[in-house]
C-alpha cells in the first residue's frame, strides 16, 4: 500500500486538509458510470492509461495497486465515497482499474469463518 | 505495477461487524483502538424510500442523505479482512441502516450508562432485524455507575444477548469485545438466519 506517498500528492495539506473542493475532483459528477458499493473491490489492471492522469486519479490508481475496497480508497483520499466512485469509474472506463462486487455476505453460522476470525482477533491481544 | 489475474478468487474475503450506539458514545474511539490503520472516515450518499407519512399517491418519495461513516480494518488472515463500520449516531438516519447491515456478522452496541436511552434505538433495530449483537458498556474514565445486570434489566435484553464492560480507548479491551461477539456466534448459533435487508453495501 502506498498510502503515505499517495497522501503527499493528493492535494492535501496537513493543517488545511484538502486543497481542492471534493466535488471539483469529479467535475461536479456524483453518479459513477460503473456501479460500485462501499465494499466493492477495486484493483489496478496494470494497464497504464495513455496521457496524463489528473492528480486524484493518479493517487486512486496507486491505492488500487493491491486489491482494496472503495471505502478504503475514499477514506485514504479523504474524499466522499460518491466522488471516489466517480474517480474510480473513470479509471475503469480507461481499463486501468477492474472492479469486483463485494464479498458475498458471510454466513454468521459458518464455523470455519468464525473460528478464523476468532484466531485472528486472539493474535491481536 | 503487477498485472492481476481476473480470477476473483484472488480477492481477499471481507467480513463486517457493525459498531452501533448513540451519538458520542465512543464508536469512533472503539474503532480507533481496534483498527490496524488510522480510523478512516468517508461520507456516503444513502438513498432510502420515504416513509409512509410523506408518501404522495403514485409518487415514490425518496430521501438522499449524506452520512459520515467511520470504519476500521483488521487483517484476520492473509486473505481475510474484517471491516468495522460505525453506524451513523443520529436517530434520524435509522432508516439508512438496512443498507449497512447487509452481510454483517453481528453488531456491538456501545452504551454509556449516563445516557442509557441513547442506545434504545440500536437495540430495537438489531432485535427487529434478528441481527446478532452484544451490549458493551463503555466505562468512561473509569466511571462506574451501574452493574451489567442492572443495564440488562433496564434494556430488557434477552438472556442470549451478552453484556460486557469495556474501555473503548484501549486496544485490548475493545478487541475482547469483538472476541466475545464472535465467541457468542460460535457457541449460540442463531436459530434463524438474519434477514438479509437492503442492498449490499
Phi and psi torsions of B76, nearest 5°: -90, -45
Which residues of B are less than 8 Å from A103 in CB distance? 11-15, 103
Find the closest chain A residue to B9 by CA distance. A103
Give the pTM: 0.80
Instruction: State yes or no: pLDDT of B61 exceeds 70.
Output: no
Segment 56-85 of chain A within 8 Å of chain B by CB: 65, 67, 69, 71-72, 74-76, 79-82, 84
Highest average pLDDT, of A9-13, B134-138, B185-189, comes from B134-138
| CA dihedral sign, ordered B142, B146, B147, B152 | negative
Nearest Cα residue in chain A from B81: A117
CA distance B41 to chain A (A): 5
Mean pLDDT of chain B: 79
Q: Which of B1, B11, B76 sits opposite A46 (nearest CB)?
A: B1
Q: Which residue has the higher pLDDT, B108 or A28?
A: B108
Lowest mean pLDDT among A26-30, A54-58, B110-114, B172-176: A26-30
CB proximity list for B128: less than 8 A, separation 6 or greater: none
* Mean model confidence pLDDT for chain A: 83
CA B175 to each of CA A12, B31, B104, B198: distance values in angstroms, whole numbers, following the listed order: 32, 10, 17, 28
Contact B181, B164 (CB under 8 A): no
Per-residue H/E/C for A40-81: CEEEECCCCCCCCCCHHHHHHHHHCCCCEEHHHHHHHHCCCH
Asked whether residue B34 carries a pLDDT value surpassing 70, the answer given is yes
Under the banding of pLDDT at 50, 70 and 90, the label for residue A6 is very low
Query: Please, which residues 20-49 of chain A have a Cβ atom closer than 8 Å to chain B?
Result: 30, 37-39, 41, 43-46, 48
Give kind and range of the element (H or E) at residue A25. helix A22-25
Instruction: Locate A54 and state its grid cell.
Output: 489528473
pLDDT score of A12 more than 70: no
Query: Does the distance separating the beta carbons of A75 and B182 come in below 8 Å?
Result: no
- pLDDT-wise least confident of A43-52, B46-55, B108-117, B122-131: B46-55
pLDDT in tens, B106-151: 999 999 988 888 899 899 999 998 899 999 999 877 666 788 899 9
Cα–Cα distances (Å) from A100 to A97, B12, B117, B164, in that order, read: 10, 11, 40, 37
Write out the three cell numbers for B24: 458520542
Element housing B40 (H / E): strand B40-49
A57 vs B61: CA distance, rounded Å: 35
| Interface contact A121-B43, CB threshold 8 A | no
Count the neighbouring beta carbons within 10 Å of the beta carbon of residue B196.
Answer: 13
B156 or B11: which leads in pLDDT? B156
The sheet that has B80-86: what strands, in order across it?
Answer: B40-49, B62-77, B80-86, B13-21, B106-111, B133-138, B163-166
String of DSSP letters for B94-152: GGGHHHHHTT--EEEEEE-GGGGGGGHHHHHHHHHTT--EEEEEE-GGG---S-HHHHH
The DSSP call for residue B26 is S
3-class state of residue B158 by DSSP: coil
pLDDT for B155: 94
pLDDT > 60? residue A76: yes
The rounded distance, in Å, linking the Cα atoms of B57 and B72 is: 42
Residue with cell 460518491: A82
Q: Where are the domains of chain B?
A: 13-53+60-187
Whether pLDDT at B36 is above 90: no
8 Å CB contact of B43 and A81: yes
Domain ranges of chain A: 3-122
Q: Is B172 in Cβ contact with A108 (below 8 Å)? A: no
Q: Measured between alpha carbons, how far is B186 from B176 in angstroms, rounded to an integer?
A: 15
pLDDT (average), residues A64-77: 90
Contact A105 B200 (CB under 8 A): yes
pLDDT score at B4: 41
Nearest-CB residue to A100 (from B11, B74, B80)? B11
Among B10, B75, B200, beta carbon nearest to A102: B200
CATH homologous superfamily of domain B13-53+60-187?
P-loop containing nucleotide triphosphate hydrolases (3.40.50.300)
Give the model's confidence band at B78: pLDDT under 50 very low, under 70 low, under 90 confident, else very high: confident
Least confident of A4-18, B46-60, B118-132: B46-60
Distance from CA of B86 to the nearest CA of A (A): 13
pLDDT higher at B27 or B96: B27
Residues of chain A neighbouring B3 (CB-CB closer than 8 A) = 45-46
Average pLDDT over residues A32-59: 90
Helix (H) or strand (E) holding B62: strand B62-77
* DSSP-based helix, strand, coil % in chain B, nearest 5: 35, 30, 35
Which residues in chain B have their CB less than 8 angstroms from residue A117's CB? 15, 76, 80, 82, 105, 182
- Asked if residue B22 lies in contact with residue A66, where contact means CB atoms within 8 angstroms, the answer is no
Amino acid at each position: 500500500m502506498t498510502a503515505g506517498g499517495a497522501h503527499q500528492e493528493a492535494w492535501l495539506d496537513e493543517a488545511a486538509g484538502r486543497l481542492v473542493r471534493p466535488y471539483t475532483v469529479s467535475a461536479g459528477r456524483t453518479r459513477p458510470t460503473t456501479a460500485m458499493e462501499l465494499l466493492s473491490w477495486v484493483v489496478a489492471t496494470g494497464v497504464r492509461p495513455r496521457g496524463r492522469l489528473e492528480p486524484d486519479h493518479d493517487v486512486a490508481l496507486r491505492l488500487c495497486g493491491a486489491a482494496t475496497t472503495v471505502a478504503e480508497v475514499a477514506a485514504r483520499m479523504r474524499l466522499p465515497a460518491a466522488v471516489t466512485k466517480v474517480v474510480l469509474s473513470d479509471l475503469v472506463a480507461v481499463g486501468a482499474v477492474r472492479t469486483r462486487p463485494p464479498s458475498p455476505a458471510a454466513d454468521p453460522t459458518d464455523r470455519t469463518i468464525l473460528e478464523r476470525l476468532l484466531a485472528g482477533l486472539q493474535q491481536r491481544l | 505495477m503487477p498485472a492481476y489475474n481476473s480470477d476473483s478468487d484472488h480477492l481477499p474475503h471481507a467480513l463486517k461487524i457493525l459498531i452501533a450506539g448513540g451519538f458520542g458514545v465512543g464508536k469512533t474511539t472503539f474503532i480507533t483502538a481496534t483498527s490496524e490503520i488510522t480510523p478512516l472516515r468517508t461520507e456516503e450518499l444513502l438513498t432510502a424510500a420515504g416513509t409512509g407519512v410523506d408518501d404522495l399517491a403514485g409518487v415514490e418519495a425518496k430521501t438522499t442523505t449524506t452520512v459520515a461513516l467511520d470504519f476500521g480494518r483488521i487483517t484476520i488472515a492473509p486473505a481475510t479482512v474484517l471491516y468495522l463500520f460505525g453506524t451513523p449516531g443520529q436517530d434520524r438516519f435509522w432508516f439508512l441502516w438496512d443498507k449497512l447491515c447487509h452481510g454483517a456478522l453481528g453488531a456491538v452496541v456501545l452504551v454509556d450508562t449516563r445516557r442509557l436511552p441513547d442506545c434504545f434505538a440500536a437495540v430495537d433495530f438489531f432485535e427487529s432485524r434478528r441481527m446478532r449483537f452484544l451490549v458493551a458498556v463503555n466505562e468512561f474514565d473509569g466511571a462506574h455507575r451501574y452493574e451489567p445486570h442492572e443495564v440488562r434489566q433496564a434494556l430488557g435484553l434477552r438472556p442470549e444477548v451478552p453484556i460486557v464492560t469495556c474501555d473503548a480507548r484501549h486496544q485490548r479491551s475493545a478487541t475482547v469485545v469483538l472476541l466475545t461477539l464472535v465467541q457468542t456466534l460460535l457457541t449460540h448459533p442463531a436459530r434463524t438466519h438474519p434477514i438479509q435487508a437492503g442492498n449490499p453495501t
